[in-house]
Structure 1
Amino acid sequence: LYIVCFILIYNKLKSGFRWAKFYVFSWVPLIIGAAIQPLELTGIITYSFSIRHAFLMAILCEIVLMAMALADRIRYQRERALY
């Protein structure tokens, strides 16, 4: 399923949807944050406040980037409608 998603996202990026890049970049902090927390729980990474709450911070970053992507998409659609 991930392979199909990556292919679809790549095709959208290749076809010129500049707002799609924000959607792609919004998933990066979430994937990294989801990988850090289990490493801390298993003892591979030492405990710290930022490590312990990495997943929450990643979700916050994802929400901000998704909002930016939505705003850019709406602006793009409005510009296209006015044209």
Structure 2
Amino acid sequence: MTEENDLRSRLVIGQKRDGRREYDDNARDELIRLCLKRGVSIARTAMEHDINPNLLRTWVTQYRQREAAKELDVRVSEVSDEVTMDT
């Protein structure tokens, strides 16, 4: 439970003029990875960390898209390293 309280305290780093909160990127990614574990409820995790569940779902979706793009880039670079062009 101490780790959860630590993450919750590190998550919000400030507040913008319009009232929206600013979040620490590392703490946000840690929370996302927590949500990606099997059997973890995104909505419950969001409520426990005082985050809107829809916002956390958006973060999870964006994280998955970034990871998929990274994996695709690695695959493309591996293939392009193997391909030689004859001129």
In which range does the TM-score fall when normalised by the shorter chain?
A: 0.3 to 0.5
User: TM-score normalised to the size of structure 2?
Assistant: 0.43
Q: Whose relative contact order is higher, 1 or 2, with alpha carbons under 8 Å and at least 6 apart?
A: 1
Q: Which has the larger share of strand? A: 2
Q: Which has the larger share of helix? A: 1
